[in-house]
Chains A and B, each alone.
Chain A
Amino acid sequence: MLQYETIFVTEPTLTEEEIDDLIKGYDGLVTSAQGKVLKVEKWGKRRLAYPILRREEGIYVLMVIESPTSFVKEIERRYRMNDRILRHLTVRVEHEAQLGPSPVMKPRPIERDEIPGDMGLAP
């Protein structure tokens, strides 16, 4: 059993209930594979950095799950089969910070010194 962080991006036209249904579906899958869901985050509708299949927006959902290694293949396969999912990514949880709320959920003010090696190159 390992912990995985899985994110998927759906079409922007999906309603709140449809998103919940999707999550519920994956939730059931995880439990049926003797795994458990540790965290679910709905980021909501976000603007995509570049258009995917002519969509300018997408609905982001993040799940942290604990499951057998073979399950990743299965969930990825299901993501690919669902044509309402535009993008997906599943990675191992490397750090406990991934179990808490993600940076997207807690917006903070931009600080000037966050720009690395700022030597007056860019304005």
Chain B
Amino acid sequence: MRGRKPTGDRQGRGGKKPFKKKFLFRKKKFCKFCDEKIAFIDNKDIRLMQAFTPERAKIFPRRISGTCSKHQRKIMQAIKRARTLALIPFAAD
């Protein structure tokens, strides 16, 4: 350490050093549900559904949210069920 402080953005997960050039400030994504140990996703939890269907009411993709495949599948199922009950929209304009 030659008097260089670690950057503030590197807290929490991983532990590995970030890539040198391009991805210096990219935080490691993680599954929010695994982190909070949520086993069951309720199709009546409208607020959660809405958080996962931003703007045009499309399902938030895994590659952006970082949700694991197991939980993404569950949330997808819940969103689709909530849609049939008109709790959340199929599409918004």
Contacts and interface: CB of A to CB of B under 8 A. Distances in A.
Interface residues of A, number: 30
Interface residues of B, number: 29
A76 to B, nearest CB: 13
A122 B40 contact: no
A2 interface: no
A115 B42 contact: no
B45 A103 contact: yes
Contacts, number: 72
Contact of B42 (A48, A103, A108): A103
Interface stretch (B5-13, B15-23, B52-60): B52-60
Nearest 9 pairs between A and B by C-beta?
Answer: A95-B40, A117-B65, A48-B86, A49-B89, A116-B65, A103-B45, A102-B44, A49-B86, A114-B51
Given A114-B51, A117-B64, A121-B64, 13 more contacts: A50-B89, A87-B84, A87-B85, A89-B84, A95-B40, A98-B42, A102-B45, A108-B47, A114-B47, A116-B51, A116-B66, A116-B67, A117-B67
